[in-house]
Structure 1
Amino acid sequence: MPKENYPRHVAIIMDGNGRWAKKRGLPRALGHKAGGDAVKRAVQAAETLGLECLTLYAFSSENWKREEEEISDLMNLMRRFIEANLKDMIERRVRLKIIGDYKAFAPDIVAKLEDALERTKDGDRTLAVALNYGAQQEIARAARLAAEEGSIDPESISKHLYTADLPPLDLLIRTSGEVRLSNFLLWQSAYAEMLFMDLLWPDFDEDCLRDACETFATRERRYGGR
């Protein structure tokens, strides 16, 4: 299938790190580490496949309810990921964008993120990472900002979403076999195609993303029409 039929913007709910580790008798922290390796593969695959934007659900606003040790592991993974991949992102001209209230994280993580945002701002393609993100909170925030400007309608709300400067969402993927959106990109998914995959996130690779793009290319998008 020609790449021009591929989606411009793909979002992924990266689910299954814990189950991947449990199946192998490993601690959850190693599942998250393996998930981090899958993120690298996905970002590289997005470049190979010519995607304009890849959006990843990395840490939801509900994830704060997890065990303190697991949250600490995720924070340390975030630190290491930025340190290990920033140079490569700059060289590959990948622009980092954060959606969500990332300033709720520890000051050193906020500083690393803001440094990465500044140093990658001129990139040609976008990696959007959802951190401390919840779609319902995003919509409420956008509606509040729209109301302050005097009108609440789809256009004014869309203008104030975190994703306002990104291409429209074409394809949303969820791994692990779960079939729900889990408070992710609810507004943006209104007419997106969806694909739910049975494999666990650490097993995701370039072939998985290519297959998803091929599936997308065969679908007829009607946007409510016939």
Structure 2
Amino acid sequence: MASGVGAAARGKGPLYRLYTARLRRELTPENMPHHIAMMIDGNRRWARQLGYETAAHGHRAGAAKMREFLEWCDDLGVTVVSLYLLSTDNVRKRDAAELNDLLQIIAELAEEVSRVRNWRVKHVGRADLLPPELTRVLRAAEERTAGNEGLHVNLAVGYGGRSEIVDAVRSIIAAHDRDGGSLEELAASLTPEQIGEHLYTGGQADPDLVIRTSGEQRLSDFLLWQSAHSEFYFMEALGPDLREVDFLRALRNYASRERRFGG
């Protein structure tokens, strides 16, 4: 029995499969989130704890977990997933060697995600902050999947929530100026809905559930505007160690909540 429990804890064995199946049965379309935002955090810590010389091993393991996570979401009927892959702060402050490895891993992930199932890929973030080759890969992934009708995957690369809001307001001002409107008219007519339409995710529903791994409990500039009424779930597992059962527990927890939308 002890060995069976150990296997279950690692995400293997009959006990784990039985428990996972039970959790799935508890979920119904009525209590499932439609849009999940995910911060798979802790890749560097994972690599350090396992004695790897560079963080690239952790980032690669985290990317593989993201691909697996997308499949879990798709199988359960989630319609939109937003993955936080690289922040604007990462671009500006991360060690050059680690950043180069991370950019290559993100390019490989975008390429792979754009070629499986019927998923539709969208880059959300500042393309001008990224190397031309990565920008090309992200644009190609969008174009390749533009007609797909399956899971919508937002890849947040070179992304910052504050910058996104600033860009949205700038876009609104520019459009208003082209139409010949005055600043007074703009100030009188500006609405939250209008700002939402000009965000990188314009036209999409806001995330119902935001998940972060690694035990950290902060947003880190991710979807600041869109998550105003989202539910949050923080888990201790490091990104590469995330198991399907951990995800199903998060969904069960979400299903038990009474959403108040600011009330």
TM range (shorter): over 0.9
**1:189 matched to 2:216:** no
Give 1:169 deviation, angstroms: 1.2
Distance between the aligned counterparts of 1:167 and 1:156, measured in 2? 14
Gapped runs of 5+ residues in structure 1? none
Distance 2:110 2:169 in 1: 32
Aligned equivalent of 2:121:
96
Of 117, 120, 127, the residue aligned with 2:145 is 120
Structure 2 counterpart SS, 1:179? coil
Larger Rg: 2
Counterpart secondary structure, 2:115: helix
Long gaps (5+) in structure 2: 1-26, 177-185
2:165 maps to which residue? 139
Structure 1 residue 205 displacement after superposition: 3.1
Is the CA contact 1:94–1:123 (under 8 Å) kept in the aligned structure 2?
A: yes
Q: Does 1:52 align with 2:90?
A: no
User: Are 1:67 and 2:95 matched, yes or no?
Assistant: yes
What amino acid maps onto 1:33 in structure 2?
Answer: R
Higher relative contact order (CA 8 A, sep 6+): 1
- For the residue of structure 2 that corresponds to 1:109, the secondary structure is helix
**Number of residue pairs aligned between Structure 1 and Structure 2:** 222
Relative distance call for 1:158 and 1:218 in structure 2 (3 A) is: same
User: Which amino acid in 2 is paired with 1:100?
Assistant: G
Superposition TM-score, scaled by structure 1 size = 0.93
Q: 1:84 to 1:187 in 2, by over 3 A?
A: closer
Percentage of matched positions with identical amino acids: 39
Aligned to 1:203: 241
Tell me if 1:82 matches 2:110: yes
Q: Cα offset for 1:209?
A: 2.2
Partner of 2:10: none
Q: What amino acid is the match of 2:220? A: S
Which protein has the bigger helix share?
2
Deviation for aligned residue 1:49: 1.0
Describe the SS at the equivalent of 2:200.
coil
Partner of 1:215: 253
Match of 2:63 in 1: 36
Output the TM-score relative to the length of structure 2.
Answer: 0.80
CA–CA distance in structure 2, aligned partners of residues 171 and 84 of structure 1: 25
Q: Is the 8 A contact 2:165 2:199 kept in 1?
A: yes
Root mean square deviation of aligned Cα: 1.4
How far the C-alpha of 1:153 sits from its partner, in A, is 2.0
CA contact 1:41–1:205 (8 Å) conserved in 2: no
- Corresponding residue for residue 165 of structure 1: 203
Aligned to 2:146, the other structure's residue is in SS state coil
- Superposition deviation, residue 173 in structure 1: 0.6
Could you say if the C-alpha distance between residues 191 and 82 of structure 1 is closer, same or farther in structure 2, counting changes exceeding 3 Å?
Answer: closer
1:168-223 CA-to-partner distances (Å, cap 9, x unmatched) read 21000111111111111111111100011111111123322222122111100112
Partner of residue 105 from structure 1, selected from 114, 120, 130: 130
3-state secondary structure, aligned to 1:87 = coil
- Deviation sequence 1:51-96 (CA, Å, 0-9, x none): 00010100000002110000010011123223444321xxx11000
Q: Is the 8 A contact 2:114 2:120 kept in 1?
A: no
